[in-house]
A = this chain, B = another copy of it.
């Protein structure tokens, strides 16, 4: 049993995925998703949970603490012949790296030249094993999550402007959101205490834009309204 990771980030308004070039057969020299075997724990070696294995691989491949990243189980692929070495079942995970952390990602241990590749290009080129299918599944999950949960905040620096968040949506949904309408939805989140103004201005365009940040714990007493808000952040529709 292995875990494979689909790690996304957003650079230059383009969705990127972290791929490695395999140094060992099978598929030596080809592009693949980072991953590795789950420590089962025979005898005296302690085993690890699946989530722990995914977090460990994530840290190994990115050099970033897993706690700072979004990580979620994606799907398990277990076709008989997906690995020429024999029967290998892989639990795929799906991770997001905030773009301000992406430059710190360095090549991992068991693979050459880890690197961010544009998802479009990755889908165009050939990948090892059934990793193309895994990537497609991850992409579908990402779009779903962006549509119905607050996951987009994981693809933006810790403080951001309305336009920056809008760019994330534009890029992932592949459409161009109306600036005015998007702003209104955004401000509703501020009203609801999901976001809050942050100090400073962003000097990106001509006119400086207001900067916001995600509010980790909602303000006010934990009334029923806040409960709902928490639920929304985890499962519900936000933007």
Contact = CB atoms under 8 A, between A and B. Distances in A.
B91 A49 contact: no
A1 B73 CA distance: 17
Contacts of A46: 80
Interface string A31-47: 00000001011000011
A100 interface: no
Interface of A: 1, 38, 40-41, 46-50, 73, 75-80, 87, 89, 91, 144, 235
Copies of this chain per assembly:
2
A79 B41 contact: no
A148 to B, nearest CB: 8
Nearest to A3: B78
A94 to B, nearest CB: 13
The prevalent SS among residues of A at the interface is loop
B87 A41 contact: yes
List 8 A-B pairs, minimum CB-CB distance, nearest first: A50-B78, A47-B80, A76-B76, A40-B87, A49-B79, A76-B91, A47-B87, A49-B80
Nearest to A140: B235
A82 to B, nearest CB: 9
Given A73-B75, A75-B73, A87-B41, A48 B80 contact: yes
Contacts of A235: 144
A50 B46 CA distance: 27
Nearest to A40: B87
